Chain A
């Protein structure tokens, strides 16, 4: 016992006997040395908080109160600030004093639309019944971006496609809980095929405005879903004085979407070169890549290939800052992503100001989606014709449709941007035998649900708006006569309820009330409509503004079900 422990208090507070320690939770020596060992010589920057929380979660399987206290000590910040961040993200398990830590192994079963249609609910139930809760915990989780192999689950960080209880048991028995890396094009392969020649040439004697003009003429628009003309963004960001940043939005969380993962797991350098071209164009001081934690294989590929780029001298060490998400769909909203990059809760910011003016650390920030950058490289290497030469139904360009649901050949299908749902289904091998086409989600739950008879609309930017929908990230889920539109809409609203950040009332409370109203035998349609307009008008960001789309479209097109 230390000598001071026996004496009367040293922390005098005026009256009484005082206290032996400062107020509050005391720094635990063991926890502090754990944190020191984990953090090593990393800079104690507040914006790295989420990275540090990952270190603790990965090592101990949870984040204890004493580790939060020790992290607060190292980062010179309040424990409340760390707790509020840790408790925001689904992949952190905060354990307070007296609480039991979670079991060593976690299974996350995807319950988003395509997986639910493929029997995720029964799978989760079977797992819960078959597993020892002291050893394994089974959780539901939102879309993991593997809808083409539904149902899907994740054991530790190992994703099991077409999951069954037997496959899970086999993986547990083999201790197979880490991500499997697919074969992909490495730096050597890419460079040998002329990769990075364009970047080097541009850096040596390029004119950013000419490149921007080329991108504009290709007709490239933001493929994260918003569809902002990519050829205009650079100028907007450059209008603001530096230092400027680039942030890549790799938080591909819109259920049904897996195109970014598709490209990253095959040709990561096409994306990386595009990113460096954009960074060059706006003279970015640093390029952040925000990659969702649901893609552990992609994270590992990027870690390796960024190291290869540093070694090859293409970027300065540390120029590319890879940040790992922690399980929050809302961080796909660009300002929420920026908050998360700054190590905070992923709560969207108010506009104005726009992130092109005030972004990461208050600096002008260029935000691009992964696939958009993939096309930046293609346009520069192959010319704008690679996009603008394709024309169908009066629409120009190509689109990577992530197709899942009741089709024979689900997956990413690169088709003309003017394709209709019938073209998409045809490309995906047609409907599964015994299923008749009934409805489709054109671009994630935010786009709602359309009936089969609306089959002549080109699935492109601007074409779906008149119908109360939009293309978003082109996450097409095909429903058949064996699926219920009502259940699909409820699945979508449950997703929004879980993923709402909770900042604004219309979305936080609105999604929760909508789910309750939609569980009723008969929907209170007039109240749901009133609620929908308030959510659209008064929510801070796109999540709350788009969440009513499935409600409204289901009431409109499938009235017999509600």
Chain B
């Protein structure tokens, strides 16, 4: 029998296997905490950077990212109070500000829009980035086609490439609001079917009249 921890989640006593994160425990109980940079799939390390899954832990000064935080014995976690929900909502609103509107989005049914809906966010009150700030389309290689205007700089593609596929050809370049993923030597690998929160590149490839580049597994 593995070790168990008991903590309070939204007022309920919960006993869970030690080592699971708050997000995982909540998810296992049917409570969907919004998440963007965290992909609940084997091999994907949660990184806690997008701050879409913030929850309140009693006694802590700031909110905590539930995707990377493991509950401790006796911890009191609240996901549904005003402080946590408004922080999560604000994160979505900040991100949506610079996305193409959903009806003209590259991928209208992307995970990002699902999460926006889960937060009750459909538009943003914030001013947009300057025109020309985002490198609109990175198609610097025949096998690559990325709509960076749909990118939320969450680094999921970097983790997928570096830690899941172990190709290490994607990096996060730049700093601050100039931080965008950058691609080195693009390999024809399974990664290309991974969507990493980015729009469906297969559709784009079809649109360009090309083959469905990226089918098949990594050749390296």
The reply to whether the CB of A545 lies closer than 8 angstroms to some CB of chain B is: yes
The reply to whether the CB of B83 lies closer than 8 angstroms to some CB of chain A is: yes
Query: Which residues in A have their C-beta under 8 angstroms from that of B129?
Result: 512
In the bound complex, do residue A537 and residue B62 qualify as a contact, i.e. CB atoms below 8 Å apart? yes
Known contacts: A24-B184, A545-B62. The answer to whether A501 contacts B175 by CB under 8 A is yes
Known contacts: A13-B219, A501-B176. The answer to whether A530 contacts B171 by CB under 8 A is no
Shortest CB-to-CB span from B69 to chain A, Å, is: 8
The reply to whether the CB of B174 lies closer than 8 angstroms to some CB of chain A is: yes
Query: Which residues in B have their C-beta under 8 angstroms from that of A88?
Result: 173-175
Chain B residues packing against A (C-beta within 8 Å) = 48-52, 54, 62-63, 65, 68, 83, 86-88, 90-91, 94-95, 97-98, 125-127, 129, 152-153, 155, 168-179, 182-185, 187, 219
In the bound complex, do residue A537 and residue B83 qualify as a contact, i.e. CB atoms below 8 Å apart? yes
Q: How far is the CA of A14 from the CA of B219 in the complex (A)?
A: 10
Contact of A80 among B83, B94, B174, B182 (CB under 8 A): B182
Q: How far is the CA of A133 from the CA of B51 in the complex (A)?
A: 42
Shortest CB-to-CB span from B80 to chain A, Å, is: 15
Chain A residues packing against B (C-beta within 8 Å) = 13-14, 23-25, 77-81, 83-84, 87-90, 328, 345, 350, 497-506, 508-513, 516-517, 524, 527, 530-531, 533-534, 536-540, 545
Known contacts: A78-B168, A534-B86. The answer to whether A87 contacts B175 by CB under 8 A is yes
Q: How many A-B residue pairs have CB under 8 A?
A: 141
Q: How far is the CA of A328 from the CA of B176 in the complex (A)?
A: 11
Q: How far is the CA of A253 from the CA of B88 in the complex (A)?
A: 30
Besides A506-B91, A540-B51, 7 other CB < 8 A contacts?
A80-B171, A328-B175, A345-B172, A502-B176, A512-B177, A516-B127, A534-B87
Q: How far is the CA of A534 from the CA of B87 in the complex (A)?
A: 5
Known contacts: A83-B182, A84-B171, A533-B87. The answer to whether A505 contacts B52 by CB under 8 A is yes
Known contacts: A509-B95, A538-B51, A538-B54. The answer to whether A527 contacts B125 by CB under 8 A is yes
23 sample A-B contacts, Cβ–Cβ < 8 Å, listed by A number:
A25-B184, A77-B168, A78-B171, A80-B183, A83-B173, A84-B171, A350-B65, A497-B176, A497-B177, A499-B176, A502-B174, A502-B178, A506-B87, A506-B94, A509-B94, A510-B94, A511-B176, A524-B125, A530-B90, A531-B94, A533-B87, A538-B54, A540-B48
Query: Which residues in B have their C-beta under 8 angstroms from that of A512?
Result: 129, 176-177
Shortest CB-to-CB span from B83 to chain A, Å, is: 6
Shortest CB-to-CB span from A463 to chain B, Å, is: 19
Shortest CB-to-CB span from B45 to chain A, Å, is: 12
Q: How far is the CA of A217 from the CA of B62 in the complex (A)?
A: 31
Query: Which residues in A have their C-beta under 8 angstroms from that of B94?
Result: 505-506, 509-510, 513, 531, 534
Interface of A is mostly: helix
In the bound complex, do residue A534 and residue B91 qualify as a contact, i.e. CB atoms below 8 Å apart? yes
Name the residue in B49, B87, B176, B187 with the highest tally of chain A Cβ atoms < 10 Å from its Cβ.
B176
Known contacts: A80-B169, A505-B94, A512-B177. The answer to whether A537 contacts B87 by CB under 8 A is yes
Query: Which residues in A have their C-beta under 8 angstroms from that of B177?
Result: 497, 500, 502, 508-509, 511-512
Known contacts: A13-B219, A505-B52. The answer to whether A79 contacts B91 by CB under 8 A is no
In the bound complex, do residue A517 and residue B127 qualify as a contact, i.e. CB atoms below 8 Å apart? yes
In the bound complex, do residue B171 and residue A83 qualify as a contact, i.e. CB atoms below 8 Å apart? yes
Shortest CB-to-CB span from B185 to chain A, Å, is: 3
In the bound complex, do residue B153 and residue A513 qualify as a contact, i.e. CB atoms below 8 Å apart? no
Q: How far is the CA of A517 from the CA of B127 in the complex (A)?
A: 7
Q: How far is the CA of A510 from the CA of B95 in the complex (A)?
A: 10
Query: Which residues in A have their C-beta under 8 angstroms from that of B68?
Result: 350
Contact of B91 among A497, A498, A505 (CB under 8 A): A505
Query: Which residues in A have their C-beta under 8 angstroms from that of B219?
Result: 13-14
Contact of A513 among B87, B127, B173, B183 (CB under 8 A): B127
Query: Which residues in A have their C-beta under 8 angstroms from that of B187?
Result: 23
Contact of A530 among B52, B86, B184 (CB under 8 A): B86
Q: How far is the CA of A13 from the CA of B218 in the complex (A)?
A: 12
Shortest CB-to-CB span from A91 to chain B, Å, is: 12
Query: Which residues in A have their C-beta under 8 angstroms from that of B183?
Result: 80
